[in-house]
Each structure stands twice: as C-alpha cells, then as structure tokens.
Amino acid sequence: MIIDMPDTTANKVSKRLDQLRDEGGAVALGRVLTLVVVAAEADVESAVDAANEASHEHPCRVVVVAPLDEVSSTGRVDAQIRVGGDAGASEVVVLRCTDPLRDHPDTLVMPLLLPDAPIVVWWPADGPVAPASDPLGAMAQRRITDSTTSDEPVAMLARLAESFTEGDTDLAWARVTLWRGLIAAALDQPPYEAVTAVRVEGQAGHTSLDLLAAWLGVKLKCPATVVRTGGEDAITRVVLERKEGPIVLDRPDGRVVTISQPGKPERHMALPIRALSEALIEELRRLDPDEIYGQVLRRGLGRVETVEAGA
C-alpha cells in the first residue's frame, strides 16, 4: 500500500504511521533499526528496492530523504508512506523536501526514528567527504557510503580514509568479503609459505580493488599492487606471489573464479559480482565498528601501488 501526503510535516507522517500500525496490526517494535537513506531523485527507487531486500534479513524502518525540485521560502515536504507488499519487511517513508529543510535533514527525520533502535545512514551516491560530520551521520551508529558510484571513486576513497571515524564503512568493502574468504582458505593449506607480493587486477576505478589490495598488504605484510584494466567485471584476478609459485584466483567473466596453486588441481567456484542489496545486507549484519576496515583505510591504502594495464 502506498499513501501520498503532499505538503505535510514529519510529525504528521509519524502520526499516520501510528494509525496504520493500529489499524493493520503492524508491530513497529519488531524493527531492529532505522535505515536513513540520503538519495538523489534518480536513485530513490533503486535504493528503496535494495533496502526492501535487506529488510527481509534486517526488519527496519526506512526513511528516504530526497530533494524536491520546487521553490519554497519556508520549506515544503511531500511524503510517501509504503507498507505491506510495497515495503518488504519494513516500513518505507520517502520525504522529498525543498530548501531550507534540505540543509537540516536531521530535524526532518527525527520524528520518524524508531525509539531505542540503532540508526544507520546510507548514501547510495555522492556521499559526504566526512560522513561522521554530516548532520545525519552524527546521529548514526553506522554510516555507509559507496565510493564506486562517485565520479572520482579512488579520490573519494582517499578522502574517506582521511576523515575515517569508527562506524564508517563503504559498500566497496562489503563486495570483497567473499574474496577475502577464498584467499584465506587458499593460504590455509600447505605449503605454508610467506607471500612476498600481491597483485589485484580489475575494473578501472572500482575501489574494491584498492580495498582488497590494502587488506592483503596489511595482513600479509608485503607489497601490494593494483592493476587497472578495461571492462566492467570489478575484481578479475588476484595473484599471491610465493617462493614455490603463485596462488592465482582468476575471474575473467565476473561469475566463476578459478583457483590455481602449484602442485594442486585447479578448482572452480561460483563467485558472481554482488548485487547492491547483497552488499547492503552484508553491512547491516554488524552495527559495531568495523576495526579491520579502519586498519585497511588508515594503514593499508596509502601503501598500495597503482599501475595501468600494459604499463
């Protein structure tokens, strides 16, 4: 069910949600968090779809803040409430607002926050340079950006590293979780040799390459290199150099990875590129600070060497 509330206030929206809960028996106390999404109009529907998918594992109230292309000296809010089949396992509130309300989103969403529930803020695109200093980010336990959507993704990742505060994370980091598991499993087999260098190859501008290389460099205490290639298949190849020969994880098609090790038969495993909803679900699984991500940003990222393919 979708309910439109033009030219309204956040307090009126909150009261309408209470009425819907009383009439339909929806249990707001079953929500485990409030997910605040700050999105441009073009990103609203894709963000809501991903949040709805994530809500099946993490029931939540989703509050989307988007700009309203209209001039209003006092500020105008057009709201839309989505419940039931239009909201997954969540309640979705879309707030489209004009200036000056757009400059104070924290006061706008405050009446809609679930009591005694964690707050997570997600910027699907164009995240702030310093998420913890943002008015909404300052309210949240977790702050999720997505550097892969930036016009300058590598530069954005560097800025996020400079402003990192506990509770920050990036969806590019969630997209390397399965790679990290495969690499750890490959290294946990004989011969237990030290890795002397690592190389991560893949899509130019995709920051998952930088984060995976930085993680490997920190954990294995060795030089790490990113090789940027053409195509749109994110990470396509990881090479771990060792004395007796390299471990190679090759995923040229973005679907199946082939793992090659000296003296062992090749192994093939499904490893499709993670969808937006899967990356979001991954990040919502933990609401405590991600210490490993912090180490990767602060200690590993600056040590990664970057080269272009063919250089």
DSSP state letters, 195-255: EEEEEEEEETT-HHHHHHHHHHHHHHTS-EEEEEESSS-SEEEEEEEETT--EEEE-TTSS
Q: What is the pLDDT of residue 25?
A: 57
Same domain, 42 and 93: yes
Structural domain count of the chain: 2
Q: Using the predicted structure, report yes or no on whether residue 20 has a pLDDT greater than 90.
A: no
User: Residues near 233 by Cβ (< 8 Å), separated by ≥ 6?
Assistant: 202, 203, 251, 252, 253, 254, 273
Q: What is the pLDDT of residue 227?
A: 96
CA dist list (Å): 27 to 91, 111, 160: 10, 18, 37
Same domain, 75 and 163: yes
User: Residues near 61 by Cβ (< 8 Å), separated by ≥ 6?
Assistant: 28, 31, 33, 34, 35, 90, 91, 92, 93, 112, 113, 114
Q: What is the pLDDT of residues 72-131, one digit of tens each?
A: 667 899 999 998 887 777 899 999 999 888 888 999 999 999 999 999 999 999 899 899
Q: What is the pLDDT of residue 201?
A: 97
User: Residues near 108 by Cβ (< 8 Å), separated by ≥ 6?
Assistant: 10, 65, 77, 95, 97, 101
Q: What is the pLDDT of residue 88?
A: 78
Opening angle at CA 64, ends 51 and 43, nearest 5: 70
Same domain, 143 and 189: no
The chain-wide mean pLDDT, for the chain, equals 92
Same domain, 151 and 10: yes
Q: Of 140, 170, 200, which closes a domain?
A: 170
Q: What is the pLDDT of residue 99?
A: 83
Same domain, 270 and 191: yes
Q: Using the predicted structure, report yes or no on whether residue 253 has a pLDDT greater than 80.
A: yes
CA dist list (Å): 11 to 103, 113, 138: 18, 11, 21
Percent of the chain predicted with pLDDT > 70: 96
Same domain, 155 and 49: yes
Same domain, 101 and 246: no
The first and second tokens of residue 290, run together, are 């991600």
Q: Using the predicted structure, report yes or no on whether residue 27 has a pLDDT greater than 70.
A: no
Characterize 193-210 residue by residue with b for buried, 16 or more Cβ atoms within 10 angstroms of its Cβ, and e for exposed: eebebbbbbbbbbbbbbb
Beta bridge partners of 145: 170
Domain that holds residue 292: 177-308
Same domain, 19 and 159: yes
Beta bridge partners of 34: 61, 119
Same domain, 53 and 98: yes
Residue 52's closest CA among 284, 216, 305? 284
Same domain, 17 and 136: yes
Give kind and range of the element (H or E) at residue 268: strand 267-270
Q: Of 170, 186, 213, which closes a domain?
A: 170
Same domain, 155 and 7: yes
Q: What are phi and psi of 36, to 5 degrees?
A: -100, 125
Q: Of 118, 144, 170, which closes a domain?
A: 170
CA dihedral 308, 223, 165, 46 (to 10 degrees): 40
* Highest-pLDDT range among 95-109, 175-189, 296-310: 175-189
Q: What is the pLDDT of residue 119?
A: 97
Percent of the chain predicted with pLDDT > 90: 79
Q: What is the pLDDT of residues 206-249, one digit of tens each?
A: 999 999 999 999 999 999 999 999 888 899 999 999 999 999 99
Q: What is the pLDDT of residue 310?
A: 63
Same domain, 94 and 215: no
Q: What is the pLDDT of residues 278-288, one digit of tens each?
A: 999 999 998 99
